[in-house]
Amino acid sequence: MALPNRNWTMVVDLDRCTGCGACVVACHAENNVPIVTEEEVLRGRAMHWMHIERYWDGEYPDIRARFIPLMCQQCERAPCEPVCPVYATLHSQREHLNLQVYNRCVGTRYCQNNDPYKVRFFNFFDPVFDEPLEQQLNPDVTVRSAGVMEKCTFCVQRIRRAEEQALVEDRRLEDGEVVPACVQTCPPGALIFGDRNNPQSQVSKLLANNPRSFRLLEHLGTEPSVYYLRGGESHV
């Protein structure tokens, strides 16, 4: 039985994001993202599939902190895909996902160069999980070795599990059944995830004629699947 087409979409409501960083922690725990040392972070090798960028708006004293959560934008026309010589990163036409096959990667790092969002992370060394973190590695996700590129997958293991469950029970996948770790964790509910092919899904409703919605670096024509909702006057 063929699985139905999906258009997995993430909506980030910047009005709700408080920059707390819970999504970052959740992502690390779910996806076995290694925690690099302070020295490595200073070298510019921090690894967070999901990270929050903070920037300042205005001049002191009338200044305001803005946050923008950044993860792989799962582009429809992803610049990182065609440059890979070994198909380690490729497109899923059915799910509109940008897949990453870790054990196929040889580490040319071309995809990261060609990624305008810089949301791909390279394993400069073998990952180290300090005690007791090595006890809680997620068995559904590969632990990547040195020399391999990795990135946010929209928690593809959760998508797969939910979809297979629905298939076994011979029913439709309901909206809200697939919840990536960051979405599950976000305290103010700034992250919303769902299938845009389903007109009844929350994301479809949110994005219908929403004047606040925009996509990052839209002028590049990458057609990301992550939509941001513009923040208004609220600030921290």
Q: Which positions touch another protein (CB under 8 A)?
A: 40, 43-46, 53, 55, 79, 81-87, 104-110, 112-114, 116-118, 121-126, 145-149, 217, 220
Shortest distance, CB of residue 181 to another protein, whole angstroms? 22
Closest CA to 49 of 35, 63, 61, 64: 35
Q: Which residue's CB is nearer to another protein, number 19 or number 79?
A: 79
Shortest distance, CB of residue 130 to another protein, whole angstroms? 17
Q: Which residue's CB is nearer to another protein, number 40 or number 140?
A: 40
Query: If you ran DSSP here, which 8-state letter would residue 224 be given?
Result: -
Q: Which residue's CB is nearer to another protein, number 124 or number 214?
A: 124
Shortest distance, CB of residue 143 to another protein, whole angstroms? 14
Q: Which residue's CB is nearer to another protein, number 102 or number 163?
A: 102
The residues with which 91 forms a beta bridge, in sequence order, are: 98
Q: Which residue's CB is nearer to another protein, number 125 or number 164?
A: 125
Rounded-to-integer distance, Cα 167 and Cα 124, Å:
39
Shortest distance, CB of residue 45 to another protein, whole angstroms? 5
Cα separations in angstroms, 182 against 12, 15, 125, 167, 217: 11, 17, 25, 25, 22
What long-range pairs does 135-140 form, CB within 8 A, spacing at least 24? 136/29, 137/32, 138/29, 138/30, 138/31, 138/32
Give the DSSP H/E element, type plus range, for residue 100.
Answer: strand 97-100
Closest CA to 46 of 146, 123, 126, 149: 123
Shortest distance, CB of residue 92 to another protein, whole angstroms? 16
